[in-house]
Amino acid sequence: MIKALIFDFDGTIIDTETAWYAAFREAYQQYEVELTLEMYSRCIGTSLHVFNPYEYLMTDLGLPIDKESFASAVRVRHAELMSREQVRPGVADYLEQARERGLKIGLATSSKRDWIDEHMERLGIGHYFECISTADDVARVKPDPELYLRTLAGLGVEAHEAVALEDSPNGAKAAVAAGIPCVLAPNEITWTLAFPSEGILCRVNRLSELAFETLVTEASGV
């Protein structure tokens, strides 16, 4: 019996990732460097230790760029793009129906807490979440399962009693490693990436394509 939903944040609840990729790609083009999706995807849904788009031009290509100015320009452009973004289709409906059915709702994100709080306040959805686990709470972020294991413990449910909602391969790997069935709802940036095949309940373009009752029925039969 399903007792909880655990959401990823960036790319799943709100599409921050398309805006980040666009902002970085534009910044790279100023130096006549093409930032491919293949390169950028290495840091989606995880930390920047594998590929750091803020530092690549300087550390790997050796370009004489002021890191702080570069990073500031990228963040300003990202903020401009994000000012128009709202929750992805189906997310608000899932949150409301989960609460009405008495399901527990958690958040497991590789982002830092101040970033999450900023957007939660703007979107007005923070009150739905009983447990929020961020990069500030764990030693290892996704694809390591620690964020999901912490959230399960905070909600007081077992892995088989929860469903994870993810948009990225790293996030899906983390959920599956924690033993949680996963629904994939990739965004424009993550759609073409390679996802794990095991532990996936279903894959949709957006959560609005999957009726909440269908999710509950399928997840309860796992």
> Catalytic positions, please?
8, 10
- Tell me which residue of 34, 17, 38 sits closest to 25, measured CA to CA: 34
**Torsions phi, psi of 147, nearest 5?**
-60, -45
Distance CA 68, CA 85 (A): 26
Enclosing H/E stretch for 184: strand 182-184
User: Euclidean distance between the first and final Cα of the chain, in Å?
Assistant: 9
Distance CA 166, CA 193 (A): 13
